[in-house]
């Protein structure tokens, strides 16, 4: 179950997506096909690799390496630029798209292949004071 009611520093928190698990050790959780092991973050109708219909929750490692990145300078009005978008390959399996945070926006300083670890950050508050929490990666 997601820790939708996790309290941290008094504020109620909710993960921005349901494949992010909050708590003492935030991490991502995937749906793993019970037949072939393919990993997914979305609600599934079937396995796109083998067609099987059963899935189990698989917690993923919070550590990984940067397989790709881009520094985005043009975005919708509510998004601060520049930011660093990245494809991270997680140790033990799984690929995820997220921002690299706390590493600046200089392409010379962001290394393809560098090890990173998952961190969380607040990304909005609703009218009831609940804080939405997102995840990113920072150089390990």
Partner 1 sequence: MADSDTKDAVWIIGAAMTRFGRYPDQDSIDLASTAALDALRDADTTIFDVDVLAAGSLMEASNMLGQRLQKQIGQTGIPVYNVANACATGATAVRAGILAIKAGEADVALAVGVEQMGKMGLLGPAGQARSAPSGFTPSGRYGSVMPVEGILGTQLMPGVFAQAGMEYASRHDGVGFEQFAKVAEKNHAHSALNPLAQYRKAFSLEEVMGADMVAYPNTLLMCCPTGDGSAAVVLCSGAKLKTLDPDVRRRAVKISASVLTSDPFVESDTAQPDVSTLTKRAAAAAYEQAGVAPQDLDLVELHDCFATAELIHYENLQLCEPGGAGDFIDRRAPWRDGDTPVNVSGGLISKGHPIGATGVANLYEVATHLRGEAGDRQIEGAKVGLTHVIGLGSACAVHVLERAAA
Judged by CB under 8 A, the residue of 6, 19, 32, 103 near partner 1 is 19
Contacts of 123 (CB under 8 A, 6+ apart): 16, 132, 133, 134
Nearer CB in complex with partner 1: 17/140: 17
134 is a contact residue toward partner 1 (CB under 8 A): yes
* Closest among 136, 89, 94, 134 to 114, alpha carbons compared: 89
Q: How far apart are CA 95 and CA 107, in angstroms?
A: 21
Q: How near is the Cβ of 94 to partner 1 at its closest, in Å?
A: 7
Q: How near is the Cβ of 98 to partner 1 at its closest, in Å?
A: 5
Question: What is the DSSP secondary structure assignment for residue 129, as one 8-state letter?
Answer: -
Q: What part of residues 34-93 is at the interface with partner 1 (CB under 8 A)? A: 38-43, 48-49, 66-79, 82-83, 85-89, 93
Q: How near is the Cβ of 40 to partner 1 at its closest, in Å?
A: 6
In order, the DSSP letters of 5-22 are: T-EETTEEEEESSTTEE-
Q: How near is the Cβ of 91 to partner 1 at its closest, in Å?
A: 14
In order, the DSSP letters of 85-110 are: EEEEEETTS-EEEEEE-SS-S-GGGS
Residues in the site for partner 1, rule: CB under 8 A?
2, 4, 14-19, 30, 38-43, 48-49, 66-79, 82-83, 85-89, 93-99, 107, 112-113, 123-128, 130, 132, 134-136
């Amino acid at each position: 179950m997601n820790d939708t009611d996790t309290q941290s520093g008094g504020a109620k928190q909710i993960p921005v997506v349901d494949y992010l698990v909050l708590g003492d050790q935030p991490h991502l959780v995937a749906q793993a096909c019970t037949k072939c092991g393919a990993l997914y973050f979305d609600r599934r109708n079937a396995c796109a690799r083998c067609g099987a219909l059963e899935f189990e929750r698989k917690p993923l490692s919070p550590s990984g390496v940067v397989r790709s990145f881009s520094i985005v300078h043009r975005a919708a009005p509510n998004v601060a630029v520049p930011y660093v978008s990245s494809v991270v390959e997680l140790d033990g399996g799984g690929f995820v798209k997220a921002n690299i945070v706390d590493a600046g926006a200089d392409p010379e300083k962001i290394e393809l292949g560098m090890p990173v670890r998952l961190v969380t950050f607040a990304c909005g508050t609703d009218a009831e004071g609940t804080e939405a929490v997102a995840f990113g990666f920072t150089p390990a």
